[in-house]
Structure 1
Amino acid sequence: MKYRSVFDIIGPVMVGPSSSHTAGAARIGLVARQLFQKEPEWVSFHLYGSFAKTYQGHGTDVALLGGVLGFDTFDIRIPKSFDLAKERNIDVSFHEEDANMEHPNTVKVKLGDKEHSMELIGVSIGGGKVEIKELNGFQLKLSGNHPAILVVHNDRYGAIASVSTVLAMHEVNIGHMEVSRKEVGQEALMVIEVDQNIGEEVLNEINKLDNVEKVTKIHD
C-alpha cells in the first residue's frame, strides 16, 4: 500500500476524542457540504451501528454537524457546532436507526434548502479515513480524503472520454475513476479522484461538454 503522507499512517490532525467517531465523522460532513456547494437550511443525520450507540459520548454528533458547517477535522469550532448551527438558523436532527449496515460506523446525511436537497451515505473506516458509498441513489466508492470531481452526465457514448481528454489537456493525473448509473441510457455519475485540486477553469470547461449536466468538486 502506498501512503501519500505520514498522516495517512498516524491519522489526521483533529479535534478529539476519536479518529473514527470524530475525525471520520467530520470528514463525512465536510464532503456533504462540499458536494451540496452551499450552506443548507436543514440537515438530518441517520446513524447506524456503533455510530448510533455512541454518537453523543464520542462527539460524533458535533463532528458531523461541524463538517456540514464547513469545518475540517482540526477546526477548534467543532465542539460549538450546535450553537453555531442555531445562530445560522439551520434545522438539525439526529436519528438512531436499527437497520444492519455493512459497516458499523455508517451515517446517512440528508440536507437541503427550499430549492434543492441531497442525500449521501458515508462510513468511517478508521484513522480519520472515510468512504462515501452512495450519493442520491448512485452507488459509488469515494474516499473523501483526496481531491475529486463528480460529474453528473447523460449515459451516452463518448461522455467519459471527453471528460478524460479535458483533464489530460490540463495535465491532471487521475488516481481513481468509476462510473455509476441507475439505468442504461439515463443519468449517470462519474467519480474521478485526482492528484491535485482542480481549478474553476477546468471545471467550467468540463461543464460545457456535451451530455454533462453538473460538475462538483471535493478538495483536499
Structure 2
Amino acid sequence: MKLFDTLGPVMVGPSSSHTAGAVKIGYITRKLLGNSPVHADITLYGSFAATGAGHGTDRALIAGLLGMKPDDIRVPDSFSLAKQSGLDFCFALESAKRGNHPNTAKLIVTDLSGNTLEVVGASVGGGRVRICEIDGIRTDFSGDYHTIIVHNTDTPGHVAQVTTVLAQKNINIASMQLYRNVKGGYAVMILECDDKIPENMLSWLKDLDGILKITSYNREEDI
C-alpha cells in the first residue's frame, strides 16, 4: 500500500469513488477511443445509479470524456462545457449491480468519424478504477500503466508478434492478459507496460494479418 492509497486522490468533488473514480473512467474511455467523443450513451449501475446524482458521478464521467482530470476545477461545469464542445450525451440508470462491483458504468462513445467504443468500468475506491470490458470482451486493467489492447482472431502467432515488437522497442511488459470468446474466434490481448506505447508501433501492428483493432492508453502521472 502506498501513502496515496491512504490519503486518497487530489480531486474536485465529495467522493473518491463516485467522483474522482468516475472522472478517471471517462478519461480512460476517451484515451482508448483515440479522439474526442461527440456522443456518449452512459448507463450507471448499482450504487452509481442510486447515489451518483448526489455525488456528481454523471458530471464526473462527462468531465473525463472531455479530457479533464479529477482535480480539474471545471468538473462541476462539465455539462455546459460538453454542450460548448459538441459532446451530446444521455444517461440511463440500472438499480442492479453489474459485474463484481456496485460502482460501475457502461459508456458507449462515438467520435466524429463514426468510430464507436464500448467500455465498462468500475470505481473500486480511493480514486482507483478497473476497466472490466471493452467492446463486450471481458478485461481487467487499472489504467495505472501504459496499456495496449489488441483485438485479433484467435490464431497462432499474434502474441509472439506483439511481444517481439515491444521487445524491439525496449518496452518492458508489466503484465499480460489473454481473453477469447471461443477457440479460433475473437480474442483480446491486454498488455500493461512500464514504458510509453509509441504511436508508430501501433500503426505497424494494425497492418498485420489477423489484427482487427488496436487501442492504447498512455497514462499520465497526475491521473
Give the corresponding residue for 1:138.
Answer: 137
Give the corresponding residue for 1:15.
Answer: 12
Match of 1:106 among 104, 107, 132: 104
Amino acid at match of 2:42: F
Q: CA deviation at 1:89?
A: 2.6
Segments of 5+ residues of structure 1 without an aligned counterpart are none
Give the corresponding residue for 2:120.
Answer: 121
Q: Deviations over 1:182-220 (max 9, x none)?
A: 222222111111112212232233333332232221111
Q: Secondary structure at the match of 2:47?
A: helix
Q: Deviations over 1:99-148 (max 9, x none)?
A: 23321101111122462322111100011110011111101101122210
Amino acid at match of 1:86: K
Q: Secondary structure at the match of 1:178?
A: strand
How does 1:63-82 map onto structure 2 within 5 Å? 63-82=60-79
Q: Go from structure 1 to structure 2 and tell me whether the alpha carbon gap of 1:163 and 1:9 turns closer, same or farther (over 3 Å shift).
A: farther
Give the corresponding residue for 1:164.
Answer: 163
% of aligned pairs identical? Answer: 45
Give the corresponding residue for 1:189.
Answer: 188
Q: Secondary structure at the match of 1:70?
A: coil
Give the corresponding residue for 2:44.
Answer: 47
Q: Secondary structure at the match of 1:123?
A: strand
Structure 2 distance, partners of 1:159, 1:9, is 40
Give the corresponding residue for 1:34.
Answer: 31
Segments of 5+ residues of structure 2 without an aligned counterpart are none
Q: How many residues are treated as equivalent by the alignment?
A: 217
Q: Secondary structure at the match of 1:47?
A: strand
Structure 2 distance, partners of 1:176, 1:42, is 32
Amino acid at match of 2:167: A
Structure 1 distance, partners of 2:108, 2:81, is 19
Taking only aligned residues, the RMSD between alpha carbons, in angstroms, comes to 1.7
Amino acid at match of 1:25: A
Give the corresponding residue for 2:22.
Answer: 25
Q: Secondary structure at the match of 1:115?
A: coil
